[in-house]
Amino acid sequence: MWIVRRARDEHKQAVEWINQHTDENIGFFLIEIELWKINDSLPAPKFNVVERPNDWSKIVKASEGLSDTKKLQLDFWQAFRDYAFAKPEFSRAFSKRKAHPQHWYDLSVGSSAYHIALTANTQKKRLGVEIYINDDKERFEKFKVNKDSIELDLGSSVEWRTASKACRILVLQDGDIKKGESAWPKQFDWLCEMALKFRTIVKKYDT
């Protein structure tokens, strides 16, 4: 944030240029500060936003009209994205995707046949990480013949779920995202750890 007493054109142009030429993780605000005094009160600062990141208004608008649960999901995945992709190992393994107000966040593994999905179930208070395979039972079975080795690599029991189209290789853990932001880093760490392990499993067993 760049706080000034009076925003001049060169201030606005500089912040606008920076927002257009920096990474999407970084956003700059240009803010004017005023001092307001009402009757005998002490002077109090008032901040006026003059320039903001290009997608800021879109994010705010997108959150309007959402239910409390959808807003929570959006906040959770946006915070997860910022947290996870600040880790070099995670950012090398996955490409960043936009967060949406839904119970899952997808990660590409370089194949159109399947992807890694992270889930946060607010009703069951449970987190999940899975390989989601779309309409490819043969590939699912290819993983499943290595069931014992995969569970050993993950350090966790695995659920092998099949449906008429999709198949899922899934691990679950208790996790209530409604507990608040102070609980999220620990949840983020587990999601990151399992996603990276699944990324390794994809490379190891789908060759």
> Can you give the pLDDT at residue 24?
55
The angle, 0 to 180 degrees and rounded to 10, between the axes of the packed helices 147-154 and 137-144 is 70
**CATH 3.30.1460 is the classification of domain 61-205:** yes
How far apart CA 51 and CA 28 sit, in angstroms, is: 8
> Can you give the pLDDT at residue 21?
62
For the chain, how far is it from start to end, CA to CA, in angstroms? 48
Residue 35, strand partner residues: 45
Q: What letter represents residue 43's amino acid?
A: P
Token look-up 């999709």 returns: 166
CATH 3.30.1460 residue spans of the chain? 61-205
Residue 148 backbone phi and psi in degrees, to 5? -65, -40
| pLDDT less than 70: residues of the chain | 19-26, 53-64, 207
> Can you give the pLDDT at residue 78?
92
The angle, 0 to 180 degrees and rounded to 10, between the axes of the packed helices 68-84 and 56-63 is 150
> Can you give the pLDDT at residue 64?
66
Tens-place pLDDT, residues 76-100:
999 999 999 999 999 999 988 888 8
